[in-house]
Amino acid sequence: MRILVVEDEPKLSRDVCRVLSGAGFVPEVAEDGEDAWFLGSTEDYAAIVLDLGLPKIDGISVLQRWREADVTIPVLILTARSGWRERVTGIDAGADDYLTKPFQMEELVARLHAIVRRTAGKATSSISIGPLTLDARLMRVSVDGARVSLTPLEYRALTYLIYNAGRVVAPHELTEHVYGIGQERGNNNLEVLIGRLRRKIGATVIGNRRGYGYIIGDEAE
């Protein structure tokens, strides 16, 4: 799933992206408020990590503009201040969660998983659909209780489909949330990827609506 990381400190930005990639996300970076406002308004992200102390446009202003424009992507704000007033201001502006710097990367990942899960209407990190179970916290997939080994691309594709269970996901949408910047994309690649997934988790778990896309859930059968 694509995550927009809005952070102007290069080292922190690199560290966050590295950890998010290892957790199965596809991170992309904006270094100032103007780029953040544009990307958040025009691209499809599962969540946004937003620093408040940004050049050009501050983080609170960016968040307010998104919400005024009906951008509903969940936002986790980062703040260097520990005062409760700034946290309240961020939440009032439309933030879904916050972290105070410095923070542990494990907590960032856990909070991101939580807000993405809430947005998808999932109560826990363990999600079962028929014989298939995904534990997003442990990054484990099993079928009928047996562990299934997936590549990073397979895991990203399956996770996105599970979080959107019951909805047909168009190929271009799934591609955006599976492949990172610089990785080769295309419907052919995606078809091969889905084929590998079906061989591992069962041929009927992922349905195909010809001309529309892929689906997991009751309607997939």
Range of the domain at 194: 126-220
Same domain membership, residue 146 and residue 110 = no
Residue ending a domain, among 119, 153, 187, is: 119
Same domain membership, residue 138 and residue 95 = no
Buried b (16+ CB within 10 A) or exposed e, 146-183: eebebeebbbbbbbbbbbbbeebbebeebbbbbbbeee
Instruction: Give the residue, 157 or 82, on which the prediction is more confident.
Output: 157
Q: Is 56 helix (H, G, I), strand (E, B) or coil?
A: coil
- We report the CATH number of the domain holding residue 14 as 3.40.50.2300
- Looking at every residue in the chain, the average pLDDT score rounds to 92
Amino acid letter, residue 111 = R
- We report the CATH number of the domain holding residue 151 as 1.10.10.10
Q: What is the pLDDT of residue 221?
A: 47
Instruction: Give the residue, 122 or 75, on which the prediction is more confident.
Output: 75
Question: For residues 95 and 64, is the Cβ–Cβ distance under 8 A?
Answer: no
pLDDT category of residue 23 using cuts at 50, 70 and 90: very high
Same domain membership, residue 216 and residue 151 = yes
Q: What is the pLDDT of residue 186?
A: 60
Please give the average per-residue pLDDT across 75-100, as a whole number.
86
Same domain membership, residue 151 and residue 133 = yes
Same domain membership, residue 101 and residue 16 = yes
Q: What is the pLDDT of residue 181?
A: 66
Residue ending a domain, among 119, 154, 177, is: 119
Burial (CB count within 10 angstroms: exposed 0-12, middle 13-18, buried 19+), residue 17: buried
Please give the average per-residue pLDDT across 192-202, as a whole number.
95
Q: How many domains does the chain have?
A: 2
Q: What is the pLDDT of residue 52?
A: 92
Residue ending a domain, among 119, 152, 174, is: 119
Same domain membership, residue 49 and residue 110 = yes
Alpha helices in 98-211 (DSSP H): 105-119, 152-163, 171-178, 187-201
- How much is the pTM? 0.90
